[in-house]
Amino acid sequence: MLAGMNFAAFSFVATALLFAGALTTPPERDWAAIAGPSRSTLPQPQSKVVWRTDLAKALEEARAANRPLFVTLRCLPCKQCADFDAAVLEGGGALDPLLAQFVTVRLTDVKALDLRLFPVEGWQDLDLSWWGYLLSPQAQIYSIFGGKDHVSDSSRISTAALAKTLERVLEHHHDPRRAEWDVDGPAPVLAGRASTPLDLPGAASWRKRPGAQSLAKDGCLHCHQVNEILRQPALDARSFDKRRELDMWPLPENIGLELERDDGLLVKRVAPESAAARAGLRAGDRLAVAGERKLFGQADLRGVLHRGPRGAGELELRVWRGRELVLAKLELREGWRATLLGWRKSIADGNIGAVPGFSWPLEIKPAERAKRGLAAGKMAVKPWFGQNSEGLPAYVAGLRADDVIVAVGGESPDLAQRDFLTWFRLKYEPGDEVVLTVRNTKGTTREVRYKVSAAGS
Residues whose CB falls within 8 Å of the CB of residue 305, separated by 6 or more in sequence, listed in order = 249, 250, 252, 254, 255, 290, 315, 337
Euclidean distance between CA atoms 98 and 67, whole angstroms: 12
Contact call for residues 295 and 309 (beta carbons, < 8 A): no
CB-CB neighbours of 431 under 10 Å: 10
Contact call for residues 202 and 8 (beta carbons, < 8 A): yes
Whether the pLDDT of residue 4 is over 50: the answer is no
Query: Into which CATH architecture does domain 252-332 fall?
Result: Roll (2.30)
Sorting pLDDT into bands at 50, 70 and 90, what band is 8?
very low
The CATH homologous superfamily of the domain defined by 7-191? Glutaredoxin (3.40.30.10)
Sorting pLDDT into bands at 50, 70 and 90, what band is 454?
confident
What would the pLDDT profile of 252-306 be if each residue is shown by its tens digit?
Answer: 999 999 999 999 999 999 999 999 999 999 999 999 999 999 999 999 999 999 9
Euclidean distance between CA atoms 214 and 429, whole angstroms: 23
Nearest to 43 by CA among 60, 59, 58, 65: 65
Euclidean distance between CA atoms 233 and 205, whole angstroms: 8
Q: What is the mean pLDDT of residues 190-204?
A: 93
Sorting pLDDT into bands at 50, 70 and 90, what band is 218?
low
Euclidean distance between CA atoms 365 and 286, whole angstroms: 43
What would the pLDDT profile of 356-408 be if each residue is shown by its tens digit?
Answer: 999 999 999 999 999 888 989 999 999 999 887 888 999 999 999 999 999 99
Looking from the CA of 125 toward its CB, the CA atoms found within 13 Å total: 31
Identical fold between 7-191 and 353-451 = no
Contact call for residues 202 and 240 (beta carbons, < 8 A): no
Indicate the SS3 state at residue 447.
strand
What would the pLDDT profile of 17-28 be if each residue is shown by its tens digit?
Answer: 444 444 456 678
Its sign, for the CA torsion 228, 115, 292, 263, is negative
Among residues of the chain, what percentage have pLDDT more than 90?
A: 83
Q: What is the mean pLDDT of residues 119-142?
A: 96
Sorting pLDDT into bands at 50, 70 and 90, what band is 315?
very high
Euclidean distance between CA atoms 110 and 196, whole angstroms: 8
What would the pLDDT profile of 62-115 be if each residue is shown by its tens digit?
Answer: 999 999 999 999 988 888 889 999 999 999 889 999 999 999 999 999 999 999
Whether the pLDDT of residue 211 is over 70: the answer is no
What would the pLDDT profile of 36-62 be if each residue is shown by its tens digit?
Answer: 999 999 999 999 999 999 999 999 999
Q: Between 20 and 177, where is the model more confident? A: 177
pLDDT at 9: 44
Contact call for residues 215 and 221 (beta carbons, < 8 A): yes
Domain boundaries, given as residue ranges, for the chain: 7-191, 198-245, 252-332, 353-451
Residues whose CB falls within 8 Å of the CB of residue 440, separated by 6 or more in sequence, listed in order = 400, 402, 403, 404, 446
Whether the pLDDT of residue 224 is over 70: the answer is yes
Residues whose CB falls within 8 Å of the CB of residue 28, separated by 6 or more in sequence, listed in order = none
What helix, strand, coil percent values describe the chain, rounded to 5?
Answer: 30, 20, 50
Whether the pLDDT of residue 7 is over 90: the answer is no
pLDDT at 229: 96
CB-CB neighbours of 185 under 10 Å: 16
For the residues of 199-246, what is the DSSP string, one character each? GSTTHHHHTTSGGGHHHHHH----HHHHHHHHHHHHHHTT---HHHHS
Cα 416 to chain center, whole Å?
A: 22
Instruction: Give the CATH class of 353-451.
Output: mainly beta
**What is the residue-averaged pLDDT of the chain?**
91
pLDDT at 31: 98
Whether the pLDDT of residue 3 is over 70: the answer is no
